Structure 1
Amino acid sequence: MEYSADILIIGGGLSGTMLAVQLLRQPGQRKILIIEPRAELGRGEAYSAVELGHTLNGNAARMSVDPDNPDDLTQWLTEHIAAGGWPESAEQHVPTSELFPPRGLFGVYVQQRLAEARAVGARYGSIVEHVRSEVVDLQVREDCVQLTLSNGQNLQGSFAVIATGMFPAARTPQTESSGLNAAALDPWDVAAMRQLDPQSTVLIIGSGLTMVDAVVSLEQAGHRGPIEVFSRHGLLPHVRRQPPAWVDFLAEDHSIRTPRQLLRELRRHCREAVAQGIDWQAPLDTVRAHIGRLWSQANDVQRRQFVRHVRPWWESHHHRSPPLSAELLARLHSEGRLRIQAASFKGLVPTTEGGVNIRIRRRGEVETSVVHGAALINSSGIEYDWRRVARPLPKQLLARGLVQPGPLALGIAAVDGAVMDAEGRVASRLFAMGPPLRGMWWESTAVTDVALQAKALAQRLVH
């Protein structure tokens, strides 16, 4: 059976849901289908978390889904808390705008905004429906886009939007698998962690925000043993603070174009801030609004230099940890239970004694060594290279030449959201938004990024 719509949205996490919200707010009658295998829209990987300890890594003032109202989440939280929701918020002892809500609660907020947009759309005669399935193939016809679903159903629409969100390395099948995921615990599976000996040693690969989540999960599961973390550079995310405003030096000086120039100027401003008794995070936070411009105007050599030499420090300084999680990590480190080591993961080693063995090479050493633990967690972050993602749709899109890898093989290539095929032709019916455009904008995953892209793309699709 073939089912028709005006717009097909592939993925119903934050990206797909925000696009639907923006489309429903536009005058005119249209039918929108969101194809998402999860039971709920608006959650995706990030906001399906159920533990209160898994919080946003940005405060409410930074996480509005409404690009026209930066206080939208703060206002929603104020009403929600006043109505008796999230009583634990009082433990943070800060104004509502500075709260770090649980990710599951943020999912509720997104769903409420979708419900309100449905009511607006209904007045125009627009509807959105959730098709609970996975898209496994896509073909672009002259007059439509046709999708094939995992249940055998076919859908067709005038336009299709790839809003597949992020592919967490811990949950994504890889084309060249090391077997890591098969041997590892899910970083967010608290129930599985409760089955461990509370005093046992747990090994974690990766030291970014996924690792922070994994440590929170272990703590909530009652784990009280050693935690050994291995990452190439041994860098931890800094804690997110609320610094005062700083001059937007990139808006004032457009001669800053290369990663080297940016680093030099940013360090100078950070030194000035510290000398004035101001948090160094203040100058850093002004850079955020200019990353898309700086990335797009850089050449591939400069981008490669950034990814190879600057990226680890950018990630640890910019993608910061929420305060409560940072406090937990600091406590465990001071107790000697949490140890961070600069070492590369080199593979699994068979063991007959239970638990798991991994081979690592510590930074500065030539020889590898084997480390044993009762359990292993893959916290290596997000897989942005679609060529390595063993999911049906990315594989088919690449095989058909309907998409091409983005710069440095990050996500897929696009022009103003319109997908670029293997021959460099820009599609007129196939679009993308959010994390798949990582290579085009570098920062294409944050809530504010997604909200702005959703608004712009909705206006393009409508007009």
Structure 2
Amino acid sequence: MPVREEKPVVAVIGGGFSGAAFAFHLLKRHGDAARVVIFEPRETLGAGLAYSAKDPAHRVNVPAGRMSIDPDDPESFLRFTMAHPAAQADPHLLGADGQPYPARSLFGTYARTVLEPFLASGAIEHRRAKVREIARLDDGWLVEDGFGPALRADIVVLAATHPAPDLPRPLKALGDDPRLITDVTREGALDGIGTDERVLIVGNGLTAADVIASLRSRGHRGKLTAISRRGLRSRGHPAVAQDPFGDFASTPSRRASHLLHRIRRSLREAAEQGIGWHAVLDAVRQQGFAIWQALPLPERRRIVRFARPFWDAHRFRIAPQVEKALDDAIADNVLSIRAAALRNVVPSKEGFTVTLTQKGSGVSELIVDRIVVTTGPAHGRVLQSQPFLETLAADGVLTLCGTGLGIACDLTARAIDAKGEIVPSFFIAGPLARGTFGELMGLPQVTEHAVLVADQVGAVLAKQSGESLAGSLNFYKNYR
């Protein structure tokens, strides 16, 4: 059994942006109160799945000036971007709105650069390994990765990535057919698609937009068909930025139907004043924490079940460069977006015969050469996505949140176990805490949440050392 170290140990599971931002703020705000060990199999920290993409067609979804790891320095990424040679050599850096939207990989480089001083000083230790098991001890946790020695940790911060998409049932029978691309995040996933091949894209969100932009940038000319149940495509940014419009937080709704009525009313009022829908949705996003806290669990579930696809399509906007790629593909009669669901898929030497149940027009068929799955994470299966999570769930340490969006935790980000009790030294960081905090997918919100978790962990460490620390949750509420 590993011996206890003199300095408390904080184990961070996942070294993407959520884990990196937490470690940065813990060390920035609370000094060297603990030894920080980040378990991340990738070569570098900070990029994770989202910002490891090497395809230059994959761009950040908001202007560089609205992305930062540090709320105290909101323009740090903008400065980094404008000074970086890769951005200076990018002929498509500026969007139609005149703002810089660099390649997504550049933000990963930025996050890595921010952490480099902490790695160099030894304040952060990067273990390039996947966690295999986390076992509960009387006074902490034992973290094993199967390579190095087991780590005895006082605090665990779970900042793992989203679970992989669930395959629609008609696709599961296709097995490992190489013409079915189930993981577009894998390097070279789209390389085998021929220039004139017909491609069916299952899903119509941000990932689908990235796939279309990538194919178009490579000169793909074949027919593209993107399907989703409601046929909603990703939206872009307004031509001219507008201030958020609408008040949904001072007297927040207690029912989902009432909230949606208020949003629709605000959309009408905004339109009457010449203000676009973006401003109303921005107000909902900014007030998301207060809105979500006011809704009882059954009403949250209604939002997730019925309104989430509409929210995602309008909330998570694409860069102008990506929007143009979609618009051009539609104008060229290359891209067709349909409100449809898979009914049956039959493989053959020529490709796939796909039967669709199409909204409002019954059943239709099409023949395609490739199928690409972009349906998004299977949030409800997060506790089955990695062996150590399965074990923690079986032991009752972790549970799925009531909304099905992530892992159950309280408003201090501490995990809630199967008995409904708080696990004092196990924290949930990043989008896996979305079910509790509500709006926790955009980078600014993930950064704010990292500050909250860092302060909560800092409070535990201060208490252990006999010091006092207060105000972390108030910071989170006030910052929002």
TM, length-normalised to structure 1: 0.89
Deviation at 1:393, TM superposition (A): 2.3
Aligned residue among 446, 450, 457 for 2:442 = 446
**SS of equivalent to 2:248:** helix
**Which structure 2 segments of 5+ residues have no match?**
460-480
**Change in CA separation of 1:433 and 1:290 when aligned onto 2, cut-off 3 Å:** same
Matched, 1:42 2:46: yes
Q: In structure 1, what is the equivalent of residue 359 of structure 2?
A: 363
**Change in CA separation of 1:278 and 1:173 when aligned onto 2, cut-off 3 Å:** closer
**Change in CA separation of 1:238 and 1:387 when aligned onto 2, cut-off 3 Å:** closer
Superposed, 1:48-197 pairs within 5 Å as 48-80=52-84, 84-89=85-90, 91-93=92-94, 98-118=99-119, 122=121, 127-151=123-147, 153-169=149-165, 178=172, 182-183=176-177, 184-185=180-181, 186-188=183-185, 191-197=188-194
Deviation at 1:2, TM superposition (A): 4.4
**Change in CA separation of 1:92 and 1:6 when aligned onto 2, cut-off 3 Å:** closer
Does structure 2 retain, via aligned residues, the 8 Å contact 1:77–1:96? no
CA distance in 1, matches of 2:396, 2:451: 28
**Change in CA separation of 1:225 and 1:68 when aligned onto 2, cut-off 3 Å:** same
Does structure 2 retain, via aligned residues, the 8 Å contact 1:412–1:439? yes
Matched, 1:20 2:14: no
CA distance in 2, matches of 1:97, 1:60: 11
Deviation at 1:354, TM superposition (A): 4.1
CA distance in 2, matches of 1:97, 1:429: 46
CA distance in 1, matches of 2:113, 2:258: 43
Deviation at 1:443, TM superposition (A): 2.3
Q: Deviations over 1:60-80 (max 9, x none)?
A: 232221122322222322333
**SS of equivalent to 1:377:** strand
Q: Deviations over 1:162-215 (max 9, x none)?
A: 10022242xx79999925784432435674434333111001100000100111
Matched, 1:208 2:205: yes
CA distance in 2, matches of 1:303, 1:342: 25
Letter in 1 for 2:206: L
Deviation at 1:95, TM superposition (A): 10
Question: Taking every aligned residue pair, what percent have the same amino acid on both sides?
Answer: 29
Does structure 1 retain, via aligned residues, the 8 Å contact 2:67–2:77? yes
CA distance in 1, matches of 2:404, 2:185: 28
CA distance in 2, matches of 1:141, 1:63: 39
CA distance in 2, matches of 1:395, 1:188: 23
Does structure 1 retain, via aligned residues, the 8 Å contact 2:81–2:106? no
**Change in CA separation of 1:101 and 1:386 when aligned onto 2, cut-off 3 Å:** same
Does structure 1 retain, via aligned residues, the 8 Å contact 2:252–2:290? no
Deviation at 1:300, TM superposition (A): 2.4
Matched, 1:300 2:258: no
**Which structure 1 segments of 5+ residues have no match?**
none
Superposed, 1:279-428 pairs within 5 Å as 279-346=276-343, 348-349=345-346, 351-364=347-360, 370-386=365-381, 389-415=384-410, 416-428=412-424
CA distance in 2, matches of 1:177, 1:10: 32
Q: Deviations over 1:260-283 (max 9, x none)?
A: 233222222222332232322112
Indicate the larger mover: 47-56 or 146-155: 146-155
CA distance in 2, matches of 1:445, 1:94: 23
Q: What is the alpha-carbon root mean square deviation over aligned residues? A: 2.7
CA distance in 1, matches of 2:133, 2:94: 49
Letter in 2 for 1:54: H
Aligned residue among 241, 244, 247 for 1:243 = 241
CA distance in 2, matches of 1:345, 1:69: 46
Q: Deviations over 1:396-439 (max 9, x none)?
A: 22222111110222211011111011111111111111121121
Deviation at 1:395, TM superposition (A): 1.7
**Change in CA separation of 1:95 and 1:410 when aligned onto 2, cut-off 3 Å:** closer
Does structure 1 retain, via aligned residues, the 8 Å contact 2:416–2:422? yes
Indicate the larger mover: 293-302 or 1-10: 1-10
Deviation at 1:456, TM superposition (A): 1.5
TM, length-normalised to structure 2: 0.86
Does structure 1 retain, via aligned residues, the 8 Å contact 2:167–2:373? no
CA distance in 2, matches of 1:179, 1:19: 41
Does structure 2 retain, via aligned residues, the 8 Å contact 1:188–1:214? no
